[in-house]
Amino acid sequence: MAAAFTSSPTSRRQFLTLLGISAAAVSCGTATAGGGSGTGAQIKTLKYQGSVGAVSLPELAADLGYFEDVKLEWVGNTISGPQDIQSAATGQTHFGSAFNGAVIKLAAAKAPIKAVISSYGSDRYSYAGYFVLEDSPIRSARDLIGKKVGMNTLGAHYQALLDTYLSRNGLSKADAGKVEPLVVPPVNTEQALRQKQIEVGVLTGILRDKAVAGGGIRPLFTDVELLGPFSAGTYIMTERFIKQNPDTVRTFTTGVAKAIEWSRTTPRDKVVARMTEIVKKRGRNEDTTALQYWRSYGIAETGGRIPDKEFQLWLDWLGERGEIKKGQLKPSDLYTNEFNGYGKG
């Protein structure tokens, strides 16, 4: 999705190259994890990428016993949403999660993928904050001209929101182009901000709450202030995998939906305790301290069902910028709620 934003020409070329590789691999049928065995048996072990010190919804669902006969196989940790869904599109994994704008760009590059359930979002508990130091002179969008903004990856959710913030606050494309987004790993963002290596740092979830608890920083703006509560990302699978493994997809999607609602209705301390136990059990030598700041997955809809508006927002935005052809895709091309059995009895 880098082409949609004010990233460098190099970043743009790299991302579009990855999109091309993803689309070519899937269209040529080289995705090793994308289909069944050819004997009619459905795949029951799903390969996926995780995140250090965090518990994803599929990991939570599996631990809660919501996946029945479906199991997860961790193959490593993802470095970003776009990378995660590219891995799924090319068959290195069976599912991946990314910002819905990145899903649109991958689909526009002819990768036959479908979103099956929301994976994260923004609400009053879980949101992306664009933080500056407490004594920073930055108070407005115009103050960002010439400043460095650290985020986990270029061309995805956080750069989209930065670009939207600048546009809505009256900056011209020329001025917005003088704001410099930089890749900073989430676990290093707070330190980079406090050491003044960047002027603004995007902080989310437990890393944000931990940083705020340390004092000395304040939000310039948040995504929930900008757009209101919304589901920002989805889990995607290839159309081929969905067609060949419908029961597995239904078990996965409904299990994730149950985990979403379990996290909403269970006392926070019990959710945190369960997550901490999951991280310790998997034995990857991870620090569980940040989990104490978890509050919500931020998903707006019951059971993670996907409404048109969660894709239409970014379809319109990308179309206006000429990054996709207007009318090339519509929301129903990008997602399905068919396999989400939550609330159906």
pTM attached to this predicted model: 0.80
In a domain, 344, yes or no: no
Residues 223 and 311 in one domain: no
Q: Which residues of the chain have pLDDT under 50?
A: 1-39
Output the CA torsion 176→182→183→184 (10° steps): -120
pLDDT at residue number 98: 94
Residues 146 and 286 in one domain: no
CB 190 within 8 A of CB 201: yes
CB 207 within 8 A of CB 186: yes
CATH at residue 282: 3.40.190.10
HSE-up (13 A, CA, CB side) for residue 243: 8
Residues 168 and 212 in one domain: yes
Q: Which among 227, 257, 291 is the end of a domain?
A: 227
Q: Which among 199, 227, 255 is the end of a domain?
A: 227
Domain that holds residue 264: 2-123+229-334
Residues 145 and 18 in one domain: no
CB 120 within 8 A of CB 128: no
Residue 210 has which token pair?
């931990």
**Strands in the chain per DSSP E:** 45-50, 71-77, 96-99, 113-122, 128-133, 148-151, 180-183, 200-204, 217-222, 230-238
Q: How many domains does the chain have?
A: 2
pLDDT at residue number 344: 77
